[in-house]
Structure 1
Amino acid sequence: MQVGSETHTYTQLHERALLWAGALARTRPRAVGVLCAKGLTAYTGVLAALYAGAAVVPLRPDFPLARTRDMLAMSGASVLIIDDRGAEVLPDLLEDHPDTAVLAPGDEALGTLSLHAEEALEQPLPVAPEDPAYILFTSGSTGRPKGVVVAHSSASHYFGLLDARYDFTAADVFSQAFDLDFDCAMFDMFCAWGVGARLVAVPSQAYLRLPSFLAEHGITVWFSTPGTVRLARAGGGLGVDSMPGLRWSFLAGEALQCRDAADWQQAASASVLENLYGPTELTVTIAGHRWSEERSTRMAINGIVPIGALHEGHAYVLLNEAGEVTELEGELCVSGPQLCAGYLDPADEVGRFVKKDGRRWYRTGDRVREIEGGELAYIGRRDSQVQIQGWRIELAEVDHVLRRDAAVDDAVTVPVEARGSVELMTFYTGNLLPPVEFVRRLSRTLPNRMIPRFYRHLDTLPINSNKKVDRSLLAVRARELFFSGESETQPMQSRTSGA
């Protein structure tokens, strides 16, 4: 495993985790918070918590303190493992949780748990299949995060399927682009650890020089959000065969555009590229589509790469707007062994987890369409549909038409509710065009009601910490611009972290 210039063997990692787990086991925790930046302490902490039979709760030191307090309280974590970054926020965090035990391996004086070699576990403690393996938090509509509990049985099923699908070996080198509170980080860690491969943490500055970073570290398995493709393109890193060492390329976390897939495949022509799909509630990823430019482009809807077929052992139904089962297209609902145990607060489950025909289902909120070969195509979020003057409009379709224009590199359209109606505002990158020119070009393809009235040019679309386009930030900015009267005028300067 490699973090920066530091390299650690699996034997070292295993022995260190057993030592830490011995200290954790004294407190018999149900859950352990890992309050660390991505690095050796975080990785060891994840294993130590699992070895101690506890659920792992990844926590970000750079998150707002109030949010971290909520997550700590909701998870029931009675122990925190901290690194230097975690130590900086620990005093304020413990004001509301003074009884929380702390393991601070870098400076034991900061913690309440000490490490003793004679108390190190000889082997990981046993767990039951239904015991929680980890707890991750997703955005909640109530203004507080929702805790997703994933059991060992779900994780076991998932990684068993991955072992059968992919030919990973100890000779591979995996990227670790995701922060540990993003469920796709589990793919990186446990696929690499499972075969004894090297795992390399990817620093933020690497994306603008991605080919050289991959070559320098010999990375053969890459996994990130599609936002990485745009960052690599901006850095000039998607030339033909610019990433020849990759064997596998995985993209997940947001809709993958066919153009982005084709550009990535051109740069990593020796790799197999897959578009993976899955909400946190369905244990990392639940479906995958293997990219083939001719076939995938033909199957795509609105220029979005299909999400593929569900993993073996799972069933799905499609629901219409009335919540009734429908054919061909609707909201995707999934049942099967990767379904999470539920949310920490059962009240959050209302409307998302449903029981039907003796089975428990998760309503993903994603609209899909059945296509050839038993695969599914992603249409958009159920809530990405807006209604204007009685007409339902799919924002993904508007964006797709915009991206086909040679003057536009990328585009995101968001709704703005104002004066009792809904207006559409488009943020775009590429050549600066006057709004009237956009309207003229779009009118060749779209009916008038689907054409946005307001446009804002950006140098780059804002990217959140998970390397996804930050649509919520754009929505806030759109409302600000609309009510300030600036929505159609001067081009707005942008940053990768904001708009």
Structure 2
Amino acid sequence: MDDTMDAVLPGRFLRGLALSPDRPAVRAGKAALTYRELHERALALAGSLLSGLPERPQAIGVLAGKGLSAYPAVLAGLYTGITTVPLQPAFPALRTRQMIEASGVGALIADDDALPALTALREAGTDLPVLFRPGGQPMPAVPYDPAAALASPRPVRAADVAYVLFTSGSTGRPKGVPVTHANTAHYFGLLDERYDFGPGDVFSQNFDLNFDCGMFDLFCAWGAGATLTVPPPQAFRDMPAFAAAEGLTVWFSTPSAIALIRRTGGLRPGAMPSLRWSFFAGEALNCQDAEDWQAAAPGAFVENLYGPTELTITVSAHRWSAGRGLHGVVPIGAVHAGHGVLLLGPDGAEHTDEGELCIAGPQLTPGYLDPSDDTGRFFHRDGRRWYRTGDRVRRADDGELLYLGRQDSQVQVHGVRVELAEVDAAVRTCAGVEDAVTVAVAAGHTCELVVFYTGSAVPQVQLARELRSVLPLAIVPKKYVHLAEFPLNPNRKIDRKKLALRAAPAAG
């Protein structure tokens, strides 16, 4: 493999292919694909798509879950050399359509389980060429032609966009975040130096493929010639048994998974001895959870990873040890080498010890797909372009960062980042609703959304049903409170603090 290919995302898979051609690249249930098989399928899919389209599209959408056929589809998108947009089949069709239109997707690769999602997209007005298994084709078909297989992945440049992921937007529509091959090269290069992953490792693959941490799973494993294994939902009833059966050595999930495994008795001391590395991200990790996980996996290093999508998967790491933390929360650690760090106060002045975390450096996205979304998130200082994370942190004596919470209306619900304003906007579209305010209430290891609304009183089940057509299921609120009018603060603005206090019993 030449040096140019090694510096871009497809090159990481080719490195794994050279190390482990006949070892499993991915397992799902009893089925598996070797590196060689996955590579050949991806080349055939990519070649079929390129030869079946009249012109090169701006982007290719990959509509895929986590079945075995999802992985050749994702790799094929990257092999075309065209920007890949991972799409979640479980999302509402209207939301997926927004993503398709925002990113300029001109064709789709769909996995074996995508027929219901394709049908829903067609009904929502999306009509794109799609490469999909034969039978039940709801859109114009691109024929699968093994004879059109590429000989090798199409070349790309470091500055080219590898993939686009979408995050919640305060405007009521998702924001597209382009990630370049240069971004990923810096990221995975640092991870290669920090961790000792190898062909004998078996990685959990817990994250959906449209979530940035899913890229960690794929390309840490594939860059090392290791195996990905997809835990089915029933595996969480006895995760130690699944880990033993699969020979699991690397775990990555949101911290919420710890509580689930604890409830099913999976965190007993020494329950998961095969684990060498355990990673958590997407939510604050509390010290008790880290301690319990460490006891269940005594041979593993436990790390808390932090990073918004705009900074390429994760941009800081803390290796947990007992006695570290603030208010029972594990530190988010040191920011990756090569990046600048600023802590800004409310007045915009730089502070030494505490403030909003702002980061500049090689993992930073070039900017949102819609430049209007950049406002308030990016700024220039000292000749560098900075991203405002919206997270408040404190700098510890050793220089590591301690997480204090959000300073805006953005929250994490089961690891999914959501702007409360997006939920507000969605609720306002529901029949009978005049205005809506969403607040977040702590609920165990995550938070729960409670909606206050004015207008006509509407049954909760009706509101939830309407919202499921426009919001991902994970962020559809479960509690709705009808008000004649919103409380106001002395500045005659809606008193969100009073609503948050009222929401606590509503969420109980």
For residues 268 and 367 of structure 2, the distance between their equivalents in structure 1, rounded to whole angstroms, comes to 44
Query: Structure 2 vs 1, CA of residues 154 and 106 (structure 1 numbering), >3 Å: closer, same or farther?
Result: farther
For residues 205 and 68 of structure 2, the distance between their equivalents in structure 1, rounded to whole angstroms, comes to 12
Aligned pairs for 1:149-188 within 5 A = 149-188=178-217
For residues 427 and 140 of structure 1, the distance between their equivalents in structure 2, rounded to whole angstroms, comes to 22
Checking the alignment, whether the CA contact within 8 Å between 2:441 and 2:507 is kept in structure 1 is: no
How many aligned positions are there?
Answer: 417
Equivalent position of 1:403 in the other structure = none
Q: Is 1:302 aligned to 2:353, yes or no?
A: no
Q: Offset of 1:302 from its aligned partner?
A: 1.5
For residues 369 and 507 of structure 2, the distance between their equivalents in structure 1, rounded to whole angstroms, comes to 44
Aligned pairs for 1:84-483 within 5 A = 84-95=112-123, 100-105=128-133, 107=135, 112-294=141-323, 296=324, 300-383=325-408, 473=477, 476-477=479-480
- Amino acid of the residue matched to residue 321 of structure 2? S
- Amino acid of the residue matched to residue 382 of structure 1? Q
Say which is worse superposed, 91-100 or 218-227, in terms of deviation: 91-100
For residues 488 and 49 of structure 1, the distance between their equivalents in structure 2, rounded to whole angstroms, comes to 45
Say which is worse superposed, 260-269 or 196-205, in terms of deviation: 196-205
Checking the alignment, whether the CA contact within 8 Å between 1:369 and 1:379 is kept in structure 2 is: yes
Secondary structure in 2 matching 1:40: coil
Q: Offset of 1:118 from its aligned partner?
A: 2.4
Checking the alignment, whether the CA contact within 8 Å between 1:24 and 1:49 is kept in structure 2 is: no
Checking the alignment, whether the CA contact within 8 Å between 2:62 and 2:74 is kept in structure 1 is: yes
Q: Offset of 1:107 from its aligned partner?
A: 4.2
Checking the alignment, whether the CA contact within 8 Å between 1:318 and 1:331 is kept in structure 2 is: yes
Query: Structure 2 vs 1, CA of residues 98 and 66 (structure 1 numbering), >3 Å: closer, same or farther?
Result: closer
For residues 340 and 425 of structure 1, the distance between their equivalents in structure 2, rounded to whole angstroms, comes to 28
Checking the alignment, whether the CA contact within 8 Å between 2:73 and 2:111 is kept in structure 1 is: no
Which of these residues, 19, 27, 31, is aligned with residue 2 of structure 1? 27
Aligned pairs for 1:484-499 within 5 A = none
Checking the alignment, whether the CA contact within 8 Å between 1:108 and 1:114 is kept in structure 2 is: no
Deviations 1:145-191 (A, max 9, x none): 00110011001111111111100010000000001111000000011
Checking the alignment, whether the CA contact within 8 Å between 2:97 and 2:126 is kept in structure 1 is: no
Equivalent position of 1:12 in the other structure = 37
Query: Structure 2 vs 1, CA of residues 488 and 240 (structure 1 numbering), >3 Å: closer, same or farther?
Result: closer
Checking the alignment, whether the CA contact within 8 Å between 2:275 and 2:299 is kept in structure 1 is: yes
Which of these residues, 52, 56, 63, is aligned with residue 91 of structure 2? 63
Deviations 1:440-462 (A, max 9, x none): xxxxxxxxxxxxxxxxxxxxxxx
Secondary structure in 1 matching 2:251: strand
Checking the alignment, whether the CA contact within 8 Å between 1:37 and 1:83 is kept in structure 2 is: yes
Q: Offset of 1:97 from its aligned partner?
A: 5.5
Secondary structure in 2 matching 1:18: helix
Query: Structure 2 vs 1, CA of residues 487 and 92 (structure 1 numbering), >3 Å: closer, same or farther?
Result: closer
For residues 360 and 300 of structure 2, the distance between their equivalents in structure 1, rounded to whole angstroms, comes to 32
Q: Is 1:83 aligned to 2:87, yes or no?
A: no
Checking the alignment, whether the CA contact within 8 Å between 2:77 and 2:109 is kept in structure 1 is: no
For residues 21 and 82 of structure 1, the distance between their equivalents in structure 2, rounded to whole angstroms, comes to 12
For residues 238 and 479 of structure 1, the distance between their equivalents in structure 2, rounded to whole angstroms, comes to 41
Q: Offset of 1:24 from its aligned partner?
A: 2.2
For residues 342 and 232 of structure 2, the distance between their equivalents in structure 1, rounded to whole angstroms, comes to 40
Task: State the identity %.
Answer: 52
Q: Is 1:47 aligned to 2:68, yes or no?
A: no
Checking the alignment, whether the CA contact within 8 Å between 2:287 and 2:328 is kept in structure 1 is: yes
Query: Structure 2 vs 1, CA of residues 326 and 217 (structure 1 numbering), >3 Å: closer, same or farther?
Result: same
Secondary structure in 1 matching 2:45: helix
Aligned pairs for 1:24-39 within 5 A = 24-26=49-51, 27=53, 28-39=56-67
Q: Which runs of 5+ in 2 are unaligned?
A: 1-25, 413-419, 421-436, 446-467, 484-497
For residues 491 and 121 of structure 1, the distance between their equivalents in structure 2, rounded to whole angstroms, comes to 54
CA RMSD, 1 decimal: 3.1
For residues 57 and 298 of structure 2, the distance between their equivalents in structure 1, rounded to whole angstroms, comes to 47
